[in-house]
Structures are given as C-alpha cells and as structure tokens.
Structure 1
C-alpha cells in the first residue's frame, strides 16, 4: 500500500484511541518493508487444552496449515513484525508464534512472552465494579457524583453509562495538551486526577445516556469508584479479587514502566515526528484502569471464557453486562456492553497501546477462545492490524462468526480496507479514533 504522511492531526487521533480498542483507526503510515514482518519465520509451541474442554488435542493439521498461511499473509500485508496466536476449543488447540520480537536482532516471537494488553484492562476494571454490585456496595444506576467529586454532570451520569461508554465525557487521551505531554516524555507518570483534568477541560460530546463514544475517561472514573468503595488501591483489588481467584499467575497491573521478561519489542509511529519508534518501556500510567495491564497468552486463555461467561459474577449481573448498544460506523452485529463487546458473537475486548495490540475473545456458541498479541500498533488501511489478523483467523475457525468491526469489511485478502477493532465505540453518536489501551 502507499505510505501516507503522518500529520499532527493523525497522531492526535491515534493517541485519542490509544487506550482502548473498539473504534475505527485513523490513517497512519505503514511500513512497506515486507522483510520487517518476519512472517515467514514461525515458531510453534504445543500447549495444554482449553479450560472449558480440558482437552489437549491439537487442531486438525489441514486447518492448522490454512491458519498458518492466512496468518502469515495477514502479517505481511499489515506489516506486523511478530504475532502470538492461540485458539482453544472442542475442535482442538492451535498455539503458535510468528515473526520477530526484535527487528534489530531478528529474535523470534515466542508463545510465552509477556505482553501489554491495553484496553483489555477495561474488562478487569469493569468486572471489579460489577463484583461490588454483587456485594450490594454500589448500584449500576448510582450517579458517579456519589463516589467522585468534580465530574461535569456527575449527578446525571451513572456507573452503567460509564461502563457502556454512554456518559458523553470527553476522552482525555484525545486532548491535544495531554498528547503533547505524553509524546514529549513517554516516561511521564500520570495520576488519575491529571488524566481527568485533561478530560474535563473539554466539552461533553452529548448528554449522558444519549449517545455512544468510546472514552478512556469513563474507565478511569470506574477505577476510582473501586478504590473509594473497596478501600484498596486498584492494582491490589484487581490482583486479589480477579487475578488470584482465576490463578492467572502471569497477569499484573503495573504502577511503573516495569515489564517482565521475556517480552517483545513494541513498535509505534505515535511519536512527535511520526517516525517509527520502540515503545517497549513507555510508562503505561496514562492508561491506568483503562489500559495499563500486562498478561500472557496462557492467562488470556483463562480470562476470555471467564469474562464472557461471568465466572466471577452472579448470573443476573452478567446478563446486564452483556446488554449491548450499537455504535455508528460499526457493523450491525457489533455491540458494546459493560466494559465488553460482542463482535459477531465473539465476546471480549481488544487493546492497543503504543507498540502493542491484543484481541481477547470467546465464542460461546462454539466454546472457543481466541487470543492474539502483536508487537505493533501501526494502522493498516485505516484499521488496527490486530483486527485484520483476527479476521483472517476467524474466517477459518468460525466462518459464520467473522471478527470484524466495519459494515461490509473484508478479510486481508480483499482489496478493501480490513475492519477496525473494537475498543472505543458503541452507542449512537460520535465515533472517535480507535482505542489504545
């Protein structure tokens, strides 16, 4: 494809999405250097079966070969340096790493790498809020003003509207002053209040409950609700109440830029000059409850079905979580619930931070889990490269449930742009750039 110049406006739109991932992606230059994808070099690791089946059978060899080919083709087209892909279900398991984790050394991706999961963090934060609902400590229709002071129209915005991206509050990560501060110093340590200050300096997009716009601001506020009600720092709450009960030993909520080894180098063009940079050690504090967490393929294999089926919640609460709204610009079979999306039957979330993207979803109809991790967030044909990859995989494993975001989206083999990834948009009004956290 023809490379496009990354303008200041484009970079601003990208960062605005950078802590979530359910919206359409703004145009960004893509590398035309196919050698950088390393898609021809693959490494395979057999892993144990899905928690839902307990099976360790591998997927049919013919299907595996088709997946290998589709993944490598999508990686080449979208200039994805490296990818880790896991599929677990009744038809068997498929776990492989493709490409390179480091463009300079050529070191391969491996399936046991730690990974920054961006907006998948939102699923943990909202799960925490819903646990408090189950404990009768909060109610979804409580106004946010009951827990956090200083929120514009806080007496009218409910916790439900925050979790379902219907508050109308501006997205702090789309604020130009915030973006300048972050790009000037990617190691900066942002506090939740600083993030809210950027958001509240901007006008609301629509009256509470009367639209939909993916906004990281919503999840920051929900993180503060958890801290206020539980009396625990959010990372501690998430660890004790979600990570430990599910025995997700390799999942963490960092409070610094610390990044466990081993991990891939992450590549981004969300920079001051628009040139590609390594964002591996950027401080994720700016994503906090909307996008700071770290996990692994094995742990996402646990989390996706637990999230989609409500393992940690009461059935009635999970049912409310799965009540979705549709967003303008997305396909009619794409909806956003309470910190969760449904894309053609695949339930979960995606995530994008500078250098890293993730897809973590579960298809109840086939009791199948899909997790994808890639080490770039550079847009492909106005969409997230992780969406292109997930589309290529699901066209093979679930042709009646293809992961996509845009109406009429095509797979990576088609001539039209690949679909966007969910993470920043469901409801009924403004659609902003893709989420990245």
Structure 2
C-alpha cells in the first residue's frame, strides 16, 4: 500500500546544508484536505490543550492559501504541516501529491526520511551519557576515535556545536561522485569518514562555525564505544522509548516504513529529477539516517526543546547557542535556534523536514515535504516554515536553516 516502483539512491552533498540545485517543476495543485487519515495518522489534529476545532475559519483559510501558494511556486509535490498552539488551537493539513506518477494525494500519516533532524537524537544520547558521567563534553575525540586530525584538541563539545574545523565528508567531490554513481550502496561510518578526514582542517577547534556531518558520525561512534551497543539500539532504548516515540527509527539501510510518500530529488549526476524513495541513506547514519512521522515529530519537538530526557544543567549547556554567521539563526549542541524557535531541520534526497518548538508560546511546528530541490538557493521547507510563521507568529518568524554553500 502506498509503495511505488523502487528508484535509484542518491545522497545530498550535505544534509542540513544542501547542494545548490535547480528547482523541480511545479506539481499540479490539489485540494487542501484535512488530515483525517487512519492510524497511525489518526488523531493528529487537536489533542492535549489545543482545542480540537482548529485555529478558527479565518486563520485556517489564510494558512491554507499561504501553504498552497508556496507549494505551487516552489514546485513541491506534497506537503504536510502540523501546527499546535495551546490556547489557540491546532492545524494539520496535507496538500499536493504523494506520487507524481499516479496523482495520489499527499497524506498526513506519511513516514518520511528526516535527514539532519537525526542529529538531535544522536546528541541527546550523547548528553545522556554526559549526565551519567560516562563521557565529558570537553573530552577530546582522540580518547574515543583514533585517526582524527588534531583529535587531541577537538572535543566532543566542538563536534556537537559544529566548531571542530573538520572537513565535511559530504562536501568531498570523490564522495559525491561515488554516492551519486551508486545511490543504493550500503555505507559504514568507517567508509564515509576518510572522505572528510583526508582534508586539512578548515579552522582551529572552537573558533568557527562550519556545518559538518563528519562531526556527527564521530559522535555516533563515541556513543557506540561507550555503550557497547549499536547506535540504532541505543536510540531505541534511551531516546525513542522514554520519549514515547513509537514510529521513529534509525534503519540499517534503505528500510522505509509504510505508508510513505514518494520522494523526488534533482541531486543526480545528470541534474534530472528522479524518484529517490528507495535510495539508501546509510551514508548519513548518525548525522541524518532516521525515519519518522508527524505524530512522533510533534512530540519530539517539545521533548527536545524542554530537555525532558536530560538534567537541567545539561539542557542549559545544550541551549547555549552561538552565532552561525547567518542572520536569525544560532546553533547549540546539535540544536538550532531561529528567532525563538528551537529544534532542527533535515534534508535528504527526496525529503525535507522542519521540527521546531517556540517556548514562549509552547507552540510546535512540523513541516514534511517530499522533495529537497532548492528554490533560488533556498530549501523549500525553509520557505514553507517562514511563510507559516509570518502568519501565525509574526514576531517570531522562522529564519531558516543554514543556507547552502
């Protein structure tokens, strides 16, 4: 059900920071429809202290128009948006198509590949080990992983806050060529790291923000070494279960839970748009290999931003965000802050997501789309999140992900 013809796999040159791509052609518009899908999507609207009758007809209609306008202009095939604002109401909508070949409408209970949102889970597991005294944020990576250039001075903190100076393996030309030539290939952390570690470091540790997936693969290895368990198992027992996330996973390879929409990308050797639904994200692993859905991401947004799985002291360290060089966006320990919204976004061939929480309003926003093709150098998920927050929280407009380089 809802499973399409397998397509080739591809990987982005970066996860949060996508490669510069040509925008995909606009998909035909479809009617915006309420997300009253069967389980596991049922019951997504309302709940908790959000009135079940939504945000009111005027605001709901404005959001419908805003989302559909961005979707069509940005050429996004399908969109799912969830917005929960305690005291005001909730809004869950799906629009566009889940399958461009058949025209099947997008559906709210789709599973998606969440890309760099995976970082928030990996770093949470690491910070739990900090709380237990099993690792220290200021431990050098050389204590756990050998062969890292300047590893005796690069700390786990530097890695988590993207200030290690380590070159991102996903920006290496040889890696990109290997990945796009064989997008279904199964990768291990030990296979991807050399593509980044062969380069000279780009900066002194702690001095410069540079988004690098190399950092998170190393942290994943630290978690595995300290716990003696595979990262997927650690996340399942330490993060997913305590957070009551029933539909989230770090697959070994290209496994993708049902039901899921098709994903579309132009991150290909030819530049042509391809169906990337079944491409293998193992190359992203601790930096971006997870799958999830709207229900789980809604819950995770609050758990992450409020530090429910961590001690107050460790959560405070996590939220000490530093400048990134991009207006409106700062970065902490595997987490970003953008004009008051706290969380992360993700980009992987065929899929993009945004999951953020606004503590001031106790509001949650989740955006899921089935393309990663850039529009004027911007990620389409950023365009959507920005437009939505301009409507509902004009004093806290989502500034967006770190722009592509």
Query: Shorter-normalised TM-score: what interval?
Result: over 0.9
Which residue, 189, 203, 208 being the options, matches 1:206? 203
* 8 Å CA contact 1:50, 1:89 repeated in 2: no
SS of the equivalent of 1:369 reads: strand
Q: Which runs of 5+ in 1 are unaligned?
A: 1-11, 406-420, 426-431
* 8 Å CA contact 1:15, 1:174 repeated in 2: no
Distance (whole Å) between structure 1 residues aligned to residue 209 and residue 302 of structure 2: 26
Cα 1:226–1:354 change in 2 (3 A) is: same
Is 1:354 aligned with 2:352?
Answer: no
Which residue, 271, 292, 300 being the options, matches 2:268? 271
Which residue, 55, 65, 73 being the options, matches 1:69? 65
Q: Find the counterpart in structure 2 of residue 408 from structure 1.
A: none
Deviation at 1:176, TM superposition (A): 0.8
Distance (whole Å) between structure 1 residues aligned to residue 33 and residue 200 of structure 2: 49
Cα 1:253–1:198 change in 2 (3 A) is: same
| TM-superposition CA deviations, 1:131-168 (whole Å, max 9, x none) | 00000100101101111111111100000000000000
Q: Find the counterpart in structure 1 of residue 116 from structure 2.
A: 119
Q: Find the counterpart in structure 1 of residue 104 from structure 2.
A: 107
Is 1:60 aligned with 2:50?
Answer: no
Cα 1:52–1:172 change in 2 (3 A) is: farther
Q: Find the counterpart in structure 1 of residue 140 from structure 2.
A: 143
Is 1:364 aligned with 2:359?
Answer: yes
Which residue, 245, 248, 257 being the options, matches 1:248? 245
Deviation at 1:290, TM superposition (A): 0.2
Which residue, 310, 314, 323 being the options, matches 1:326? 323
* 8 Å CA contact 2:35, 2:44 repeated in 1: no
Moved over 4 A (4+): 48-52
Is 1:174 aligned with 2:171?
Answer: yes
Which residue, 155, 159, 174 being the options, matches 1:162? 159
Q: Find the counterpart in structure 1 of residue 22 from structure 2.
A: 29
| TM-superposition CA deviations, 1:380-403 (whole Å, max 9, x none) | 111000000001110111100111
Q: Find the counterpart in structure 2 of residue 384 from structure 1.
A: 379
Deviation at 1:50, TM superposition (A): 6.5
Q: Find the counterpart in structure 2 of residue 189 from structure 1.
A: 186
* 8 Å CA contact 1:268, 1:276 repeated in 2: yes
Q: Find the counterpart in structure 2 of residue 303 from structure 1.
A: 300
SS of the equivalent of 1:100 reads: strand
Deviation at 1:57, TM superposition (A): 4.2
Deviation at 1:48, TM superposition (A): 4.6
Distance (whole Å) between structure 2 residues aligned to residue 363 and residue 236 of structure 1: 30
| TM-superposition CA deviations, 1:278-317 (whole Å, max 9, x none) | 1100101000000000000000011001000101000010
SS of the equivalent of 1:313 reads: coil
Q: Find the counterpart in structure 2 of residue 429 from structure 1.
A: none
Distance (whole Å) between structure 1 residues aligned to residue 337 and residue 49 of structure 2: 22
Q: Is the deviation greater in 204-213 or in 161-170?
A: 204-213
Distance (whole Å) between structure 1 residues aligned to residue 348 and residue 20 of structure 2: 16
Deviation at 1:16, TM superposition (A): 2.6
* 8 Å CA contact 2:50, 2:85 repeated in 1: no
Deviation at 1:207, TM superposition (A): 1.1
SS of the equivalent of 2:360 reads: helix
Q: Which runs of 5+ in 2 are unaligned?
A: 1-9, 37-42
Deviation at 1:49, TM superposition (A): 5.8
| TM-superposition CA deviations, 1:102-141 (whole Å, max 9, x none) | 1000001101111000000000000000000000100101
Cα 1:334–1:160 change in 2 (3 A) is: same
Distance (whole Å) between structure 1 residues aligned to residue 336 and residue 313 of structure 2: 18
* 8 Å CA contact 1:49, 1:55 repeated in 2: no
Distance (whole Å) between structure 1 residues aligned to residue 12 and residue 264 of structure 2: 14
Give the TM-score taking structure 2 as reference length. 0.93
Is 1:217 aligned with 2:206?
Answer: no
Deviation at 1:99, TM superposition (A): 0.3
Deviation at 1:53, TM superposition (A): 3.0
Is 1:85 aligned with 2:81?
Answer: yes
Distance (whole Å) between structure 1 residues aligned to residue 120 and residue 52 of structure 2: 27
